[in-house]
Structure 1
Amino acid sequence: MVSTPKAPKAPDPTQTAAAQTATNVDTAIANAGLSHTNQYTPDGSLEYKVTGNTTMTDQNGKTYQLPTYSAYQKYSPQNQAIYDQTQQTQLGLSKLANEQTGKISGILGTNVDLSAGNVDKYVNDHWQTGFNNQWDRDQASLDQSLADKGISMGSAAYNNALRDFSTRKQAASDQYLGDMYSNAQNSILTERNQPLNEISALMSGSQVNQPNYVNSPTTQLPTVDQAGLINENYNQQMGAYNSQMSKSNAAMGGLFGLGSALLGGWAMSDRRLKRDIHQIGVSEAGIPIHEYEYVFGGGRQVGVMADEVERVFPGAVAEGPGGFKMVNYAEVL
C-alpha cells in the first residue's frame, strides 16, 4: 500500500528546554566539583566540603537539588600556635587600653586652655627660671669685669654699661618669650593628647584580623534559547503545512484536469474498483480527496469515492456498466 508521507512532529519547546536545563544543571554540578580542589601547603590547608543543598525550581515547576559547598581554612600547628599567641597579646592590649580609658575619662570633658594667661604661666613654671638664672650669671660677670677695670658702682661708666646690659636683656627676654609662647602651646596640647595617643597605640596593636576569604569559583548555567526552539517548531509546522497545501493543490489540479478531460466529466469512481486508497485532502464542498489505484491497473490516481459524493451531490452520481457507480467530476468540481 502506497501512503503519502506525513511531516514529523516538531519537538515540544517546553520539554526541550527542560531537558536542556537538566543537562546544564548536571554540567554545572560537575564543574563545581572539579573546581573545588583541596589545597595543602606547609603553612596550612584549604578544604571544600558539601554542607547542604539548595533547591532550585525552573519555570516548568521541576526542582533540582544543588549541592552547597563551604571552604575551610586551617593553619599548620606552628602557625596556629603563633596565631593563638598573637590573639592573646592583642586581647591584653585591648584590655589595657580599656583600663587607661577609664583613668583619663575626665580629660575629654575639659577644654584645652590656650589663653594668654595660661600660656604665660606655663612659660614661667617651666622655662622662666632658667632664663633669669642665665642673665643673673651674665650680670655678675659684667660687674666683675667692670670692677677689674676700676669702674666703681654708681659711676657714669658703670650706669651706662648697666643700661646697655638691661637693654640687651629686655630684647632677649622679648625674643625668648615669643619663642617660648609657641613652645608652651605645643607642650600644653602634647600633654593633653599624650594619654589619648597611648590609648590609640594600644588599640592599634589589638585590631581584630579580618578573615581572608577564598575566591570561590563561579559556575553559570547557560541560558536555554527557548524562543529559538519555539520558532524552530513553528517553522517546521509551517513547512509541513506548505507541503500538505502543495500536495492538496496538485490533487485538486489533477481533479480539474480529470473533469475536463473525460467525456462529459463522468468517470468510474466506485470504491469496489479501487485499492490502496489513502485520503490526501478535502474539497471546498467537504468531499474527501483520495489517492488510489484501479484494480485493473493504470498507476496511482487522484479522485473521489462515489459513495462519499452521493451523500453530498446525489445528482452527480449514476450507475454505470456492471452496476458500478460513476461520478460527474465536472459537476462535483
Structure 2
Amino acid sequence: MVSTPKAPKAPDPTQTAAAQTATNVDTAIANAGLSHTNQYTPDGSLEYKVTGNTTMTDQNGKTYQLPTYSAYQTYSPQNQAIYDQTQQTQLGLAKLANDQTGKISGVLGTNVDLSAGNVDKYVNDHWQSGFNNQWDRDQASLDQSLADKGISMGSEAYNNALRDFTTRKQAASDQYLGDMYSNAQNSILTERNQPLNEISALMSGSQVNQPNYVNSPTTQLPTVDQAGLINENYNQQMGAYNQQVAKSNAAMGGLFGLGSALLGGWAMSDRRLKRDVHRIDTTAAGLPVYEYEYVWGGGRQVGFMADEVEAVAPSAVMEGPGGYKMVNYAGVL
C-alpha cells in the first residue's frame, strides 16, 4: 500500500510563549536605547548612560538582563561658575540670616500693640516734642507782642489772649494727634516687620539659568509576533501534510482501481511503454509509485515500473505481448 505522510508536530505552547517573551524583551531594550537621546545646549547638557542591569525572570524560569539607565545633567562652564558662586553666597547669607534670627527670636512671640494708649505714647515719644517746641515758640512770640502793646502779664487782656492761645493749641494738638495716629500704627508695624524683611532678603539670591531641553523623540520598534509566526509555520506544514495525504489517498485509489479493473489484476507496466513519468510516492514496502501516460495516450495513470517490482516480487511480473512486461497489481497490493 502507499505510505502515509507523517503529520507535523504541533508547536509547544511553553516554547512559543518563551520565544515571544524573548522577542518582546529585545524590542523593549532597543526602544529604550533609541528613546534616550543625549542633548547639548549652551546652558548645559543631558546625557543617558547604562549604569547597571536589572534581572527579570519569566514564568518558565528564563532570566533576562535589562539595562538600567541614569540621566546626568551638566552645566556649561559659565553656568557652573555662577552656580558655585551662588551656592557660596547663599550659604553665607543663610548663616547671616540664622544669626539675625537668633537676635529677634522674641519678636514673633510678642503681640503687636496697636492700642490707643500705645499709639499715643509712640506719638509722644517720637513727634510730640517737636509739636510742643513749635507752640512754645509761638507763645513766646505772643508774650512779646502783648508786652510791646503795653499789656502786662496778669491783666485781663493778657489772660484773654492767653486763653485764646491755649484753646487754639489744644485744637491743634487734637488735630495733630489724629493725623499722626495712622502714621504711628504704620511705624510700629514697620519696626516689627523690618528685621523679618531683612532676613527674607538675605535668603534670596541670584538664580542659575537652567538648561532648556527639547522633548526627546520617541522611537518605537514594532514587536514581532513571534508566536504568530510559529503558528503560521505550523499551519503551512499542516496544509502541505493534508495535500500529501490527499495525494496518497488518490494514488491508493488509483492503484486499487487499476488492479481491480484489469483482468486478474495484470497491467502493462513496462517502462518502455510510458512517457512523462513523475514519481509521486512510495509504498510501505518501498516500491516507488509513479504518475505517467502510456505512449498510445489514454490520460494520466498511476502505477509501478515492472523492472522495480520484479526486483522485489518476481512472481508478480510476467512477459506480455511484444516482449513487454506486465505487473500483477492485485498481487503486489
TM-score range relative to shorter protein: 0.5 to 0.7
d(CA) in 1 for partners of 2:196, 2:82: 30
d(CA) in 2 for partners of 1:318, 1:128: 154
Maintained 8 Å contact 2:43/2:209: no
Residue 23 of structure 1 deviates from its aligned partner by 1.9
RMSD of aligned Cα (Å): 7.9
**1:234-271 per-position Cα deviation (integer Å, ceiling 9, x unaligned):** 99999999999999999999999999999999999999
Maintained 8 Å contact 1:24/1:222: no
- The worse-fitting range, judged by mean Cα deviation, of 99-108 and 50-59 is 99-108
d(CA) in 1 for partners of 2:252, 2:232: 30
Residue 117 of structure 1 deviates from its aligned partner by 3.7
- Relative to structure 1, is the Cα distance of residues 41 and 17 closer, same or farther in structure 2, using a 3 angstrom cutoff? same
Residue 46 of structure 1 deviates from its aligned partner by 2.6
- The worse-fitting range, judged by mean Cα deviation, of 202-211 and 170-179 is 202-211
- The worse-fitting range, judged by mean Cα deviation, of 225-234 and 194-203 is 225-234
Residue 91 of structure 1 deviates from its aligned partner by 0.9
- Relative to structure 1, is the Cα distance of residues 27 and 238 closer, same or farther in structure 2, using a 3 angstrom cutoff? closer
Residue 199 of structure 1 deviates from its aligned partner by 1.7
Paired residues, what number? 333
Residue 136 of structure 1 deviates from its aligned partner by 1.8
- The worse-fitting range, judged by mean Cα deviation, of 51-60 and 197-206 is 197-206
**1:141-199 per-position Cα deviation (integer Å, ceiling 9, x unaligned):** 34445556665555555444433332222222122223333333332332233222222
Residue 134 of structure 1 deviates from its aligned partner by 1.7
- The worse-fitting range, judged by mean Cα deviation, of 206-215 and 115-124 is 206-215
Secondary structure of the 2:106 match is coil
TM-score, normalization: structure 2? 0.58
Maintained 8 Å contact 1:282/1:289: yes
Q: Which residues of structure 1 form unaligned runs of 5+?
A: none
- Relative to structure 1, is the Cα distance of residues 103 and 270 closer, same or farther in structure 2, using a 3 angstrom cutoff? farther
d(CA) in 1 for partners of 2:166, 2:238: 120
Q: Which one scores higher on RCO, CA 8 angstroms, separation ≥ 6?
A: 2
- The worse-fitting range, judged by mean Cα deviation, of 137-146 and 286-295 is 286-295
Secondary structure of the 1:218 match is coil
Identity rate of aligned residues, in percent?
Answer: 92
d(CA) in 2 for partners of 1:261, 1:142: 164
Maintained 8 Å contact 2:51/2:70: yes
Secondary structure of the 1:224 match is coil
Q: Which residues of structure 2 form unaligned runs of 5+?
A: none
Maintained 8 Å contact 1:4/1:280: no
Within-5 A mapping of 1:98-137: 98-137=98-137
- The worse-fitting range, judged by mean Cα deviation, of 234-243 and 69-78 is 234-243
Secondary structure of the 1:301 match is strand
- Relative to structure 1, is the Cα distance of residues 278 and 14 closer, same or farther in structure 2, using a 3 angstrom cutoff? farther
Residue 65 of structure 1 deviates from its aligned partner by 0.9
- The worse-fitting range, judged by mean Cα deviation, of 141-150 and 158-167 is 141-150
Maintained 8 Å contact 1:17/1:224: no
Question: Is 1:244 matched up with 2:244?
Answer: yes
